[in-house]
Amino acid sequence: MKFIIANWKAYVTTEKGAKALAAAVQKVKFRKGIAVVLCPPFPFFSLARAHKGRGVSWGAQDMFWKEGGAYTGEVTSEMLSGAGITYVIIGHSERRNYAQETDEMVNAKVRAALAAGLRPIVCVGEREREDPASIPRCVAEQTHKAFAGIEKNKMEEVIIAYEPIWAIGTGTADTSDDALSAALYIRKVIGEMYDAKTAAKIKVLYGGSVDSRNIAEFINQEGIDGVLVGRASIEKKEFAEIMRAI
């Protein structure tokens, strides 16, 4: 199974726009064995119910780690599940940057998502790659901290997105070879934390300036289980081409 995950970020700002985008995606015929997951902003979650059972799945771009209570502005796992959401992006670099999310918060969110039966898509990635020959240690550190204390039997639900920050929204994607090295490195870290079987089971995606021209390079790598697409996922024709590219 390969994943194409669309992170609409805050690019889509009107209900009309969100509806039109969902309807356009729904029309695209894509191969079996591919999971397409659309992650709209919270106010457009009703789309998940409206499109239920029609091929695509739905995800959130974030969630809170507490089940509920006096937490102004937060969106909980139950709110997501109740809206028909089954995936949730956690620890995206934009949240780490603009909302000061820490590795500890990421860990708490991963726990809460798994406890609620949601599939977390956990983002890790370095700000800069100083030495092109090696994937920075911070990727290992973020991975370690994100999954600290998570039980082994929960790990098969986990999706990790390797998203080098320098490649996000810049039009300069990583090379597929380096993305593969990073994916293997992440699997190695999971293997050290758990065991080889667990490392083989988790899904590792690549994200950062994926578009219809470069998607095949990433998705055809056996060690890369799919892509997380930002900017190109909100352009109807472009995303249709991405979905048909595999």
Give the interface with ligand PGA as residue ranges (CB under 6 A).
7, 163, 168-169, 207-210, 228-232
The CA distance from 104 to 90, in Å, is 12
Which residue's CB is nearer to ligand PGA, number 103 or number 163?
Answer: 163
Q: How far is the CB of 217 from ligand PGA (least distance, A)?
A: 14
From 148, 129, 125, 121, select the one nearest 138 (Cα to Cα).
Answer: 125
What's the chain's Rg over C-alpha atoms?
17
Strand-strand pairing, 34-39 and 57-60: parallel
Residue nearest to ligand PGA (CB): 230
Q: What is the residue whose two structure tokens read 């670099």?
A: 93
Minimum distance between the CB of residue 189 and ligand PGA, rounded to whole angstroms? 21
Q: How far is the CB of 112 from ligand PGA (least distance, A)?
A: 21
Nearer to ligand PGA, 11 or 194 (CB): 11
CB of 207 to ligand PGA, least distance (A): 4
Specify the residue, 117 or 169, whose C-beta has the smaller distance to ligand PGA.
169
Catalytic residue among 94, 126, 163, 217: 163
Question: Cβ neighbours of residue 211 under 8 Å, at least 6 residues apart?
Answer: 173, 229, 232, 238, 242
| End-to-end CA, the chain | 12
Q: 97 or 134: whose CB is closer to ligand PGA?
A: 97
Please, are residues 7 and 60 in contact by the beta-carbon 8 Å criterion? Answer: no
Catalytic-residue membership of 222: no
15 annotated active-site? no
User: Could you list the active site residues?
Assistant: 92, 163
